[in-house]
Amino acid sequence: MTTGVETFGDGTLHQMGAIYPFVGTEGLLVIVGVIIWIGWHVWELKNEAREYDVEKDGLKDKAHNVEIFKWDLSKKF
């Protein structure tokens, strides 16, 4: 039983093609990969919208905002 190649030692290496596991599932892998890629974008759009909402709510506190707008970027680096 093997997920891919049984032996490299029988002198047929020069005739071998793909040697990754589960040759023949490339199409399925592409479908899964594309779903993951697009799903990541969908998640990101929802996540950043949620973060902006939280940040906007936080910025309603003007007393707190005084400190934020004092933040001097040059002091950080």
Give the interface with other proteins as residue ranges (CB under 8 A). 1-9, 11, 13-14, 19-22, 25-26, 29-30, 32-33, 36, 40, 43-44, 47-48, 51, 76-77
Residue 59 C-beta: closest distance to other proteins, Å: 19
**Count of CB atoms situated within 10 Å of the CB of 5:** 13
Residue 70 C-beta: closest distance to other proteins, Å: 19
Cα end-to-end distance, the chain, whole Å: 57
Map tokens 């002198």 to a residue.
11
Query: Minimal CA–CA distance to 19: which of 30, 28, 10, 6?
Result: 6
- Nearer of residues 1 and 63 to other proteins, judged by Cβ: 1
- Nearer of residues 2 and 62 to other proteins, judged by Cβ: 2
